[in-house]
Amino acid sequence: AQSVAQPEDQVNVAEGNPLTVKCTYSVSGNPYLFWYVQYPNRGLQFLLKYITGDNLVKGSYGFEAEFNKSQTSFHLKKPSALVSDSALYFCAVSLYNNNDMRFGAGTRLTVKP
């Protein structure tokens, strides 16, 4: 079965600095990879996904992620962090049709002014 690891529980960055939230995956097959963001007491909001094609995926709110097959990673990045980016970020992986989407444990991003 597929799985996702987010090695960092917490990431702290200063506003204006670049941010990276790490994600590695394990699947037997071609992965479909996703990033979601969750604000307090809210559901998940879709940021971006990788299905196939260009390894660099651009998503909502200026976020992007790079699929690295050799390192089985899909790190989330943003060139310049905003305080409003502070939230809980989840990486997820599935095979084919989302019927079995697995989420990472989540990484809490805090952007300080």
Partner 1 sequence: GAVVSQHPSWVICKSGTSVKIECRSLDFQATTMFWYRQFPKQSLMLMATSNEGSKATYEQGVEKDKFLINHASLTLSTLTVTSAHPEDSSFYICSARDRYLSGANVLTFGAGSRLTVL
Smallest separation (angstroms) from partner 1 to the CB of 1: 11
How many residues touch partner 1 (CB under 8 A)? Answer: 24
**DSSP secondary structure letter of residue 99:** T
Cβ(56)–Cβ(42) below 8 Å: no
Stretch that binds partner 1, among 12-20, 61-69, 79-87, 92-100 (CB under 8 A): 92-100
Is 29 one of the binding residues for partner 1 (CB under 8 A)?
A: no
- Alpha-carbon distance 55 to 27, whole Å? 17
Q: Please provide the distance, in angstroms rounded to a whole number, between the alpha carbons at the two ends of the chain.
A: 41
The mark string for 35-74 relative to partner 1 (x by CB under 8 A, - otherwise) is: -x----xxxxxx--x-x-----------------------
